[in-house]
Amino acid sequence: MTTPAVSFEVFPPRTVGAAFKLWDAAQALAPLAPRFFSVTYGAGGTTRDLTHDSAHVLHRTSGLPVAGHLTCVGASRAETMEVADKFAEAGIKDIVALRGDPQAGTDKFVPHPEGFADSCELIEALAKTGKFTIRVGAYPDPHPEAADQQANIDWLKRKFDAGADEALTQFFFEADTFLRFRDACVKAGINKPITPGILPVVNWTSARKFAVKCGTPVPEWVDQAYEAAIRDDRHDLLAQAMCTELCSELIDEGVDALHFYTLNRAELTRDVCRAIGVTPQVDLSDVA
So which residues are the catalytic ones? 9
Alpha-carbon dihedral angle through residues 66, 70, 76, 78, given to the nearest 10 degrees: 30
Distance CA 165, CA 127 (A): 10
Q: If DSSP codes are grouped into helix, strand and coil, which group holds residue 234?
A: coil
Contact between 39 and 51 under an 8 Å Cβ cutoff? The reply is yes
Contacts 24+ apart (CB under 8 A), 83-90: 83/48, 83/52, 84/126, 84/129, 84/131, 84/132, 86/52, 87/52, 87/55, 87/132, 88/129, 88/131, 88/132, 90/52, 90/55, 90/56, 90/59, 90/60
Q: How far is CA 199 from CA 174, 260, 273, 275, in A?
A: 12, 6, 12, 15
Q: What is the DSSP letter of 107?
A: S
